Structure 1
Amino acid sequence: MKAVLMTAAGSPDVLKVQEITNPGVPVGDTELLVRLVAAGINPIDTKLRQRGTFYPEQMPAVLGCDGAGVVEAVGAGVQRFRPGDAVYFCYGGLGAHQGNYAEFTVVDERFVAHKPNSISFAEAAAAPLVLITAWEALYERGRLEPKDNVLIHAGAGGVGHVAIQLAKLKGANVATTVSSQDKANFVKELGADEVIFYKQTDFVQAALDWTNGEGVDLAFDTVGGETFGKTFPAVRIYGDIVSILEPDPKTVWKVARNRNLRIGLELMLTPMVQGLVESLQHHAEILEQCATWIDQGKLKIHVSHKFPLEEAAKAHQLLESGSITGKIVLLISDE
């Protein structure tokens, strides 16, 4: 089968389309053989390509955590799926288990969800990592409650655009930062109540003005770097701030401490890296619930760019150029 192999750590040029062994059948007792139709591209893919995977001794590697496709064969113990079912999931692509930049993959049924019926395979492939990340960050780390005021950084991005919608589904009020009028229009369509142009406006002051000087109940940092520490004074006393990135080593924690902020760190890849089966099953449960909301028209996935599998390197180049609205997807086979 065709797959995009990462032959070494480095620039996008290390991604090469090659023929590799099809996972084939028979599959394991609870496993599915999936014919992949599309694969999502995420920042973790570009980071692993640049610096090497979590398992450098297992090279070359196939990247890509997000996949969507059709079940081709099932193990003897599989209960929830049958051949022909459309599925989506976030599994593989970190170096140990084959990723989804390929024509086929094998994945345990416990980590897979039924694809939403109302969207394309491309949209489904764009969804899993960002949905799980935003869900865990807002609902579990941030303990978001109805009527809470939440500040979401980079609301037009991959994680940000679904975080806005998940926050609104919870009944929260949402402020978000953007860089352009086009992105402002986009996040307003998603339900954002307050749009902050961070390049022209002090987002801290804007958040305080929006909350009558109190600060937001929850801030969600999807940007990292200096943004994390700069957000502390925008959060109310005893409030929450959650980041999906490692805090800058130069972060000054005094304001967070003085305001008794609760700090949350979110890395949805941890269960895959650590082999936490129950947590991976929980990820599938999240995707099943999100599929229901998608089919009810309550949740949308925005795909801004699509590339054929052979142009994975170009897709990585585009993602690394920055300021992408929504998600980028690789198209592998016909739907």
Structure 2
Amino acid sequence: MKAVLMTAPGNPEVLQMQSIAKPAVPPGERELLVRLVAAGVNPIDTKLRKRGTFYPDNMPAILGCDGAGVVEAVGAAVQRFRVGDEVYFCNGGLGAHPGNYAEYTVVDERFVARKPDKASFAEAAAAPLVLITAWEALYERGRLQPGEKVLIHAGAGGVGHVAIQLAKLKGADVCTTVSSQEKADFVKQLGADEVIFYQQTDFVQAVLNWTNGEGVDLAFDTVGGETFHKTFPAVRVYGDIVTILEPDANTVWKAARLRNLRIGFELMLTPMLQGIVEAQKHHAEILEQCATWIDEGKLKIHVSQTWTLEKAVKAHQLLESGSVTGKIVLLISD
């Protein structure tokens, strides 16, 4: 089968299309052999490509956590799926298990969800990592409740654009930061109640104005760096802030301490990295619920660009440019 292999850590050119053996048939007892139709491209892919995977001894590696495709074979103990089912999932791509920049993959049925009927394979492949990240950050780490006010940084991005929608589905009021009028129009269509042009406006003051000086109940940081600690004064006393990035050594914690903020960290890769099966099953449950919302027209995944598998280098270059709205997807087969 064709697959894009990461041959060594480095620039995008270390991604090379090669022919490798197709996974064995039949797959393991609880596994599915999936013919991949599309694979999502995420920032974790570019970070692993640059610095090396979590398992440097397992090289070359196939990147790509997000996949969508059609079940081609099932293990003897598989109960939830059958040949021909359309599925989507977040699995592999971290170095221990092959990812989805390939024509086929094998995945445990417990970690897989049915593909939304109303979503294309490209949209489905773009969805899992960002949906799970936003869900856990807002609903589980941040304990978001109906009627609360939430600040979502970079609302036009991959995680941000689904976070806005999940917050609105919970009944929250949403404020978000963007860099352009085009992105402002985009997030308003998603339901954002207040849009802040962070390059021209002090976002903290804008949030305080929006909340009558109190601050938001929950802030969701998808940017990191200075943005993380600069957000502390925009959160109400005893409020929550959740980040998907590791705070840097220069983080100024004083405002968070004085406001008694609850700090949450969201890394949806933890279950895969630590082999926590129940948590991986929970991720599939999240995707099942989101599939229902997508089919009901309550949730949309925005794919800004698609590229063929052979163009994985270009996809990485574009993602690293930092100007992408929504998601980039690799198309593998029809």
Normalised by the size of structure 2, how large is the TM-score?
1.00
Counterpart of 1:146 in 2: which secondary structure?
A: coil
* Runs of 4+ more than 6 Å apart: none
- Greater Cα offset, 17-26 or 122-131: 17-26
Q: Does 2:207 align with 1:191?
A: no
Q: Distance in 2 between matches of 1:300 and 1:49?
A: 29
Residue 128 of structure 1 aligns with which residue?
Answer: 128
Q: Distance in 1 between matches of 2:119 and 2:233?
A: 40
Please show how residues 204-243 of structure 1 align to structure 2 within 5 Å: 204-243=204-243
Q: Distance in 1 between matches of 2:146 and 2:198?
A: 26
Residue 101 of structure 2 aligns with which residue?
Answer: 101
Question: How many Å apart are 1:323 and its aligned residue?
Answer: 1.9
Q: Amino acid of the residue matched to residue 333 of structure 1?
A: S
Q: Does 2:158 align with 1:163?
A: no
Counterpart of 1:219 in 2: which secondary structure?
A: strand
Q: Amino acid of the residue matched to residue 250 of structure 1?
A: N
Q: Distance in 2 between matches of 1:24 and 1:295?
A: 33
Query: 5+ unaligned residues in a row in structure 1: which ranges?
Result: none
Residue 319 of structure 1 aligns with which residue?
Answer: 319
Residue 286 of structure 1 aligns with which residue?
Answer: 286
Residue 52 of structure 2 aligns with which residue?
Answer: 52
Question: How many Å apart are 1:24 and its aligned residue?
Answer: 2.6
Question: How many Å apart are 1:249 and its aligned residue?
Answer: 1.1
Counterpart of 1:106 in 2: which secondary structure?
A: strand
Counterpart of 2:233 in 1: which secondary structure?
A: helix
Counterpart of 1:5 in 2: which secondary structure?
A: strand
Residue 43 of structure 2 aligns with which residue?
Answer: 43
Q: Amino acid of the residue matched to residue 42 of structure 2?
A: N
Q: Distance in 2 between matches of 1:152 and 1:111?
A: 28
- Deviations along 1:177-220, one digit per CA (max 9) or x if unpaired, are 00000000000000000000000100000000000000000000
Question: How many Å apart are 1:232 and its aligned residue?
Answer: 0.1
Q: Distance in 1 between matches of 2:20 and 2:146?
A: 49
Please show how residues 15-94 of structure 1 align to structure 2 within 5 Å: 15-94=15-94
Question: How many Å apart are 1:108 and its aligned residue?
Answer: 0.2
Question: How many Å apart are 1:248 and its aligned residue?
Answer: 1.6
Q: Distance in 1 between matches of 2:28 and 2:41?
A: 27
Q: Distance in 1 between matches of 2:229 and 2:252?
A: 7
Q: Distance in 1 between matches of 2:212 and 2:162?
A: 26
Q: Distance in 2 between matches of 1:254 and 1:192?
A: 30
- Deviations along 1:82-117, one digit per CA (max 9) or x if unpaired, are 000000000000000000000000000000000000
Counterpart of 1:145 in 2: which secondary structure?
A: coil
Q: Amino acid of the residue matched to residue 303 of structure 2?
A: V
Residue 148 of structure 2 aligns with which residue?
Answer: 148
Counterpart of 1:137 in 2: which secondary structure?
A: helix
Query: 5+ unaligned residues in a row in structure 2: which ranges?
Result: none
- Deviations along 1:20-55, one digit per CA (max 9) or x if unpaired, are 110130111110000000000000000000000000
Residue 265 of structure 1 aligns with which residue?
Answer: 265
Q: Distance in 1 between matches of 2:204 and 2:297?
A: 33
Residue 301 of structure 2 aligns with which residue?
Answer: 301
Q: Distance in 1 between matches of 2:269 and 2:257?
A: 28
Q: Distance in 1 between matches of 2:238 and 2:173?
A: 18
Q: Distance in 1 between matches of 2:270 and 2:108?
A: 17
Q: Amino acid of the residue matched to residue 305 of structure 1?
A: Q
Counterpart of 1:61 in 2: which secondary structure?
A: coil
Taking only the aligned residue pairs, the percentage that are identical comes to: 82
Q: Distance in 1 between matches of 2:316 and 2:225?
A: 21
Counterpart of 2:329 in 1: which secondary structure?
A: strand
RMSD: 0.4
- Deviations along 1:208-244, one digit per CA (max 9) or x if unpaired, are 0000000000000000010000000000000000000
